[in-house]
Every structure is written in structure tokens, then in C-alpha cells.
Amino acid sequence: MVTAHHEASHRIFQERPEILGPVFGLLGVPPPPKAVGEVLTPDTTEIRPVERRVDSVLRIEPSDGSDSFLLAIEAQGKRDPDKEASWAYYVAHLRAKYDLPVLLLVVCHDKATAKWASGPFTCGALGWTALSTHPLVLGPENVPVITDPSVAARDLAMATFSALTHGRSQDVGAILDALARALRATDKKSADYYSDLLDVGLGNTRAGTEWRQLMTFVSYFPGRGTLREEAYLEGKEVGRAEAMAEERAGTVVRILGQRLIPVPEDVRERVTTCTDLDTLARWLDRAFIVHSAEEIFDEDTPPEA
């Protein structure tokens, strides 16, 4: 199943191609100078009804005029023997389709998966290798742990990628703190992008919860009266009022039901779509004494008990 963490781990390469330079450096592969990355379709489906799709595919165009190549990127959460054949197919298909050299990059979030993903994966028979796939692998072993805010500020994309990759490690708190501090000093557009990407990518994990709590205090400058802080606090208040209205409306309907009073659909809809807490309070009081559901709306003449 494709998770938010999975999606964020490869989407960052599409949306922030500047990360490719330092990533190639980590892998020991000469980085293309000031390369431009063009996002290509990840679909490698054949005419037959068999769907195969790479997570991300980029066409890399080096600025120095050297040869272009394709970078196929896969986010891998666990060992999957089926990927050995799929990855070989991706490389061969993309090579034939675009007539360009292909590199396969696999992004992992734990050491065991990263070790397996490094391959090589061979295909052959009778002692002869017909095809061999050698993925480039990024994982906790070679992605730096960035805990210095100044380092994070110099490369927000890599700092975010570090947090995604080390989301399960004991160092994640320090990584998140450094990134949060770096985002305070950058422009709003970049801060919002990386904050949201990490929020989605870490999901409902311990690190995700820590990140959301951290951004509440770091990004919104509590007590300073900034627009983001006011919007954040207003959003919390609106959400609390909506939840209270929903609960109060549900109570009105339940009380009528417990008193065996039929609740027509139009009455139910009027109650459950009401967001005014005072109005709902009056309807709630009446729900205990009315003889029909419609009577809760009769505010001029109190019904007889």
C-alpha cells in the first residue's frame, strides 16, 4: 500500500531537484553540474493489462552539455522479492522507450531494507548472468543526520530528506528541531512547503506528532500576534466549536430517539446541519419535553409537558 511517507520520499526529488547534487555525492557518483530535472511519466505499462509504475522518473539534463540520462526513483519500505524483477523491467523498459542511459535509485528508511535493496539482482540460467541490476540506495547508513540549524538552513531539501529518512531513529528529535529552527529564518513559501511535506511524510508516527507539536511553538511564534499564529489559533477555536455543535446536535437526535419519538429526515437534517450553539442548546432542552420532533423548533409557544 502506498503511504504518505512513501510518497514524500520520492516526490521531493520531483519538486526539489536541487537535492540531486548532494544525493549523488552521498552515493559516490559524480554529480551532474547544475542539472535540470524534467519529470517524466512513471507509467511503464504494456499493451497487455499489466500495470507497472515507477514511483518517479526524471530526465536529467546536465548544464555542461554532457549526456542526459534518466533517474528512476523507488521508495521502498520493506523487502519485497517481487521488486527484483520489477526493477530490472523498469530499467530495461525506460532504456528502450527513451533511448537514454538509466540509473535506478531506491530510497529506504531502515538499514535491513537498504542492505537488501543494494543488490545486485541477477537473472540468468546455467551459471550465466543474462541481466544484472545494481540499484543506487539511500538509507540511514548514508543519509546524513542533520542536527545543526545552520547546516539545515543551507540545504532545506536535504535537511527535510534527512528527517524523512531518519524518522524512526533516536536522532529524529534533534533533526526536527534543527529543521524547525531553519524554517523560521527562510521565506514563508519554502517554510510552508517543507513543513507540509514533512507533516504528510511522517504521518501518524511518533516523529510526525513531535513535528506538529514542534511547529506549533517554533513556526507560529506564540504570543507575537503574527498572522500565522492568529490563523492557527482561530482554526483551533473554529474546530472546537464545530466539534461541540456536532456533539450537541447528535445529543438532540439521540434524546428524541430514546423517548421513542420519530425523527423525520427533514428534522434530522435541520438539527445536524445547525452550527449555532445557542440554538442547539434550546433544542436540546426541548428534546426532553416535546411530544413530536417538530416541536423542538417551536420557540414562541413552549410545548406542554
pLDDT greater than 90 at residue 9: no
pLDDT greater than 50 at residue 251: yes
Q: What span, in angstroms and rounded, lies between the C-alpha atoms of 34 and 11?
A: 20
Q: Which among 72, 70, 61 has a CA at the least distance from the CA of 99?
A: 70
The pLDDT value recorded for residue 233 is 55
Q: What span, in angstroms and rounded, lies between the C-alpha atoms of 209 and 286?
A: 42
Question: How many Cα atoms sit within 13 Å of 235 on the Cβ side?
Answer: 8
Of 75-84, 137-146, 229-238, 266-275, the one with minimum mean pLDDT is 229-238
Q: Which among 254, 251, 245, 259 has a CA at the least distance from the CA of 289?
A: 259
Contacts of 243 (CB under 8 A, 6+ apart): none
C-alpha cell of residue 59:
530526465
Three-state secondary structure call for residue 114: helix
Q: Which among 231, 230, 228, 198 has a CA at the least distance from the CA of 212?
A: 198
* Per-state percent for the chain, helix, strand, coil, to nearest 5: 50, 15, 35
Q: What span, in angstroms and rounded, lies between the C-alpha atoms of 110 and 116?
A: 10
pLDDT greater than 90 at residue 134: yes
Look over the chain and give the mean of its residue pLDDT values, rounded to a whole number: 80
Which stretches does DSSP call E strand in the chain?
Answer: 36-40, 56-61, 69-76, 102-108, 121-125, 128-133, 136-138
Cα-to-chain-centroid distance, residue 121: 30
- Over residues 18-42, the pLDDT tens digits come to 777 777 788 787 766 666 666 665 5
Q: What span, in angstroms and rounded, lies between the C-alpha atoms of 96 and 98?
A: 6
Q: Which among 12, 1, 4, 2 has a CA at the least distance from the CA of 208?
A: 4
The pLDDT value recorded for residue 103 is 92
The residue that leads in pLDDT, 236 or 187, is 187
Question: Residue 153 corresponds to which amino acid?
Answer: A
- Over residues 274-289, the pLDDT tens digits come to 988 888 888 988 888 8
CB 166 within 8 A of CB 145: yes
pLDDT greater than 80 at residue 13: no
Q: Which among 219, 141, 205 has a CA at the least distance from the CA of 173?
A: 205
CB 151 within 8 A of CB 109: no
Percent of the chain with pLDDT over 70: 80
Of 110-114, 181-185, 242-246, the one with minimum mean pLDDT is 242-246
The pLDDT value recorded for residue 305 is 46
Q: What is the pTM of this model?
A: 0.59
Q: What span, in angstroms and rounded, lies between the C-alpha atoms of 152 and 146?
A: 6
Residue 229 pLDDT class (50, 70, 90 cuts): low
Q: What span, in angstroms and rounded, lies between the C-alpha atoms of 118 and 104?
A: 10
Which of the 8 DSSP states describes residue 103? E
Residue 221 pLDDT class (50, 70, 90 cuts): very low
The pLDDT value recorded for residue 201 is 83
Helices (DSSP H) in 2-71: which residue ranges? 4-15, 20-27
Contacts of 260 (CB under 8 A, 6+ apart): none
Cα-to-chain-centroid distance, residue 74: 15
pLDDT greater than 60 at residue 208: yes
Percent of the chain with pLDDT over 90: 15
Q: What span, in angstroms and rounded, lies between the C-alpha atoms of 248 and 252?
A: 6
Question: Residue 272 corresponds to which amino acid?
Answer: T
C-alpha cell of residue 224:
507575537
- Over residues 286-299, the pLDDT tens digits come to 888 888 899 998 86
Q: What distance separates the 2 farthest-apart alpha carbons in the chain?
A: 94
